[in-house]
Amino acid sequence: MRLKSWILLCTGIGLFRMASAQQIPLNKYGLAVLQDKQQYEQLIKKDSSQQLVDLEKFIPGIRKDVRYATTNNFTHQRLYTSTGIYLRRPAAIALKKVQEILHKKGFGLLIYDAYRPYRCTELMFKIVPNDLYAADPRKGSGHNRGVAVDLSMVDLKTGKPVPMPTDFDDFTHKAHENYKPADPVVAANRQLLRETMIRCGFKGSSTEWWHYYLPNYKKYPLMDIVF
């Protein structure tokens, strides 16, 4: 084989392997789920908006109560080994604006959940197979894409969570958007959170007062990487 032909062949093989390595493998549902940290690093080199940002470092004063790192959640199982809270950079920037607006009104953010590895979505749906409350793994979740967040507010004076219609992960009608709380303070707290989140670019859930996500969530791949 001539040297030029050999070089072209080797180059072609190398490019094919590189392209194959960068493809996100499909799972049993035919979904592309990113599971390799090296592929994640390659992704953010091409597009910095894909980077997962540590919210505690990025948003001053943010609070957290990561229930899935405990047994105090609807699964009664410890799903996370870490309490780290992450979102894709655009979602983190939008959430920082929310925090700034709320601070001027005497409140701060309390995060229950943010980025969630895909494997946790599969487990949750086995326990609650209802996509009104748990994301269907055949579709994946905004949490798996790093652009959905579950949250509430704290009173900056007391440092305590403000009253809301229900606790986090309450699967009753009281958690729905159209529920009318008898307590005007509860109604005002929920309304302030919703209005501020929407103002900063998030979309809310009709069945969970705590759940918000970026409307362009499909731009971000599903992920099953633990950080």
Contacts of 54 (CB under 8 A, 6+ apart): 84, 85, 86
Nearest by Cα to 207 from 101, 138, 128, 109: 128
Instruction: Establish whether 208 is a catalytic residue.
Output: yes
Place of tokens 């405990």: 70
Residues 6 or more apart whose CB falls under 8 angstroms from that of 178 comprise 206
From the candidates 41, 177, 195, 208, give the one annotated as an active-site residue.
208
- Total number of residues shown for the chain: 227
Q: How far apart are alpha carbons 89 and 87 in whole angstroms?
A: 6
What is the DSSP-derived secondary structure letter of residue 29? Answer: T
The catalytic residues are 208
